[in-house]
Amino acid sequence: MSYVFVSCSMAYSLDFRQQVFKVKQKEQLTFQELSYRFGIPIKTLFRWQQHIEPKTNRIKPSTKIDMEVLREDIQNYPDCYQYERAKIFGVSQSAIFYALQRLVDFELFNVCLFDTYANSENI
């Protein structure tokens, strides 16, 4: 008998993980039976057996890119490509991509929309 699981990114609490292994021990279940009973992929159960605590997200500040300098660079050179900015700052293009994502907020977005709308009426 084979089982197919749809992979969904789902975080399980530590209490639930511990409860699953208590049931496994109490009822002498195999990993396949445990997987079928709880609807959890076997690979996930093996991973939990090695490290039961869920991983936490680490919020990392940018270490090389000064956000104010990046903001000024964007205002001075708005048509610059990401790879060009990466050369200027001495980082990878993907680092610039993620820094730009952190930099963009609703205030900046609304200002740009307002300027675009105001300029289109004058044409």
Residues with Cβ within 8 Å of residue 70, at least 6 apart in sequence: 85, 89, 96, 99, 100, 103
pLDDT of residue 120: 60
pLDDT of residue 7: 47
Q: Where are the domains of the chain?
A: 1-56, 67-115
Angle at 30 between CA 55 and CA 42, to 5 degrees: 40
Low-confidence ranges of the chain (pLDDT < 70): 1-10, 58-62, 105-123
Percent residues over pLDDT 90 in the chain = 51
pTM: predicted TM-score of the whole model, two decimal places:
0.43
CA dihedral 33, 35, 39, 45 (to 10 degrees): 160
What pLDDT, on the 0 to 100 scale, is given for residue 67?
A: 86
What is the structure's pLDDT at 116? 60
Q: Give the total residue count for the chain.
A: 123
